[in-house]
Amino acid sequence: MRTHKYLIPHRGLRFKGSPLWFTVFVVFLWGPHTLFADTTVLERIVEAERTVHYIGASLRTSTSPRGTRTFEEHVIHVPGVASYRKLLSVVGEPRPPGAQRSREEHERNDRRRERDGNDRNNRWRERSEWREVRIPFSEEAIKLIGQNYNLEHRPSDEKIVNHETDLLIISPKFDGRPTKRIFFARENGVILRVEDYDADGVLREIFVYTRISFNAKSVDAKWQTIKKAIRTEQRRSQPSSLTEAEKILKKAPVQPEYVPPGFQLHGVRKIKRRENSVFLEYTDGLVNFTLFEKTGKPPRLNPREQRDATKIDIGGATVSKHRFGQTDAFRWTTSGTHFMLLGEIPTAEMQKVVESIIKKANVQ
């Protein structure tokens, strides 16, 4: 008959049994309180965005090859209404890519700045007004994050604006994806700080509250003073469908045969004031890439895109590649459709997506 050994304490708190099991027992008792969580933590954070009153100020700093910028904003969140942000100031401006510009180019830039001055002032006024902010994670996004990322929940020793916090770390299961660290108020689940790291572990963006209040009366009082000044923001695109997109393009939109692991079609949108144009959005829950499709006249490229573009061959088609923020954008024309693909995924993966679209468009 098989004899089983159990962890039985003897004199001097010594344990009789396997040393391996003793080690596991010690780790269980005295290890750090880290929990590999499911999506319930994210669901709690989203629920806080729906139910908790708060008002405060925040800083958001982002870093790119063109420089670092910090945005200071006022924030107000009214449950049942919406969440709004108002830009107060910007520190740092993006630097033009490349080294010294020629005198002729400086003169062209001066003329353009003078010509576009009014437009720039209008844009600044728009940014300085209260803007609606969407809930950070949709139900679909939470489901996909649970499939494509590891979620680790642990208590944090750090206080943010005098509030105790917990930390949720969202780390990728696939190479080339980012990591997100979310510090949220332990008492109610409201996000207080977010750190975004790229696939190489470099901090690219940080958002943090410098002050915040959860006093519902103060929030309601402030809301009464600003709600008349809030304008309904008109988005440049509207929800659509694959069926409507086919009518707009006068042909079926091309969906890529290849998408990176974990990605799926999130939505189809049509662009206001642009005929024969739609775009398809793909997501893995945390990262997005977008495929623009247009028939008819080719879209116009701005001078910087023309100057910085590199011509490459993919699948027998000439593709223009240029920098777009922190990633690459690809433009090309196949079978009478003009395409543009952009998103925060590795360039090698983007090229696979482009090649699959070209192959499918040529036979569709």
Give the tens place of pLDDT for each residue, 69-80.
999 999 999 998
Distance, CA of 331 to CA of 135 (rounded, Å): 31
Share of the chain above pLDDT 90, in %: 59
CATH of domain 40-96+114-229: 2.50.20.10
Residue whose pair of structure tokens reads 């994670």 in the numeric block = 137
Residue whose pair of structure tokens reads 């344990």 in the numeric block = 15
Other CB atoms closer than 10 Å to residue 123's CB: what's the count? 11
> What are the tens digits of pLDDT across the range 312-354?
999 999 999 988 877 889 999 999 999 999 998 999 999 999 9
What is the predicted pLDDT for the residue at 10? Answer: 44
- Cα dihedral: 128, 134, 135, 141 (round 10): -130
What is the predicted pLDDT for the residue at 204? Answer: 92
| The pLDDT of residue 162 is above 90 | yes
Reported as a pLDDT band with limits 50, 70 and 90, residue 19 is: very low
| The pLDDT of residue 274 is above 50 | yes
Distance, CA of 55 to CA of 190 (rounded, Å): 11
User: What value does the mean pLDDT take over residues 23-42?
Assistant: 56
User: What value does the mean pLDDT take over residues 143-167?
Assistant: 96
For 243, what's the count of Cα atoms within 13 Å in the CB-facing half-sphere? 0
What is the predicted pLDDT for the residue at 81? Answer: 80
Question: Which of the four CATH numbers 3.30.200.100, 3.20.20.150, 1.10.10.10, 3.30.360.10 does domain 237-363 have?
Answer: 3.30.200.100
| The pLDDT of residue 303 is above 60 | yes
Residue whose pair of structure tokens reads 């958002």 in the numeric block = 207
> pTM of whole model > 0.85?
no
> What are the tens digits of pLDDT across the range 221-259?
999 999 888 877 677 889 999 999 999 999 999 999 999
User: What value does the mean pLDDT take over residues 19-25?
Assistant: 43
Distance, CA of 358 to CA of 331 (rounded, Å): 11
| The pLDDT of residue 16 is above 50 | no
> What are the tens digits of pLDDT across the range 51-64?
999 999 999 998 87
What is the predicted pLDDT for the residue at 300? Answer: 79
The mean of the pLDDT values for the chain is 83
Distance, CA of 318 to CA of 332 (rounded, Å): 7
Distance, CA of 22 to CA of 84 (rounded, Å): 54
| The pLDDT of residue 94 is above 50 | yes
Distance, CA of 115 to CA of 280 (rounded, Å): 34
Chain region(s) in the chain for CATH 2.50.20.10: 40-96+114-229
| The pLDDT of residue 159 is above 50 | yes
Chain region(s) in the chain for CATH 3.30.200.100: 237-363
What is the predicted pLDDT for the residue at 105? Answer: 52
What is the predicted pLDDT for the residue at 308? Answer: 81
What is the predicted pLDDT for the residue at 211? Answer: 96
- ∠ CA 340-207-345 to the nearest 5 degrees? 25
8-state DSSP, 12:
G
> What are the tens digits of pLDDT across the range 99-149?
444 445 555 555 554 544 444 444 444 556 888 888 889 999 999 999 999
Share of the chain above pLDDT 70, in %: 79
CB distance 160 to 208 below 8 Å: yes
Alpha helices in the chain (DSSP H): 19-30, 40-51, 103-115, 117-127, 139-148, 216-226, 242-249, 303-308, 347-363
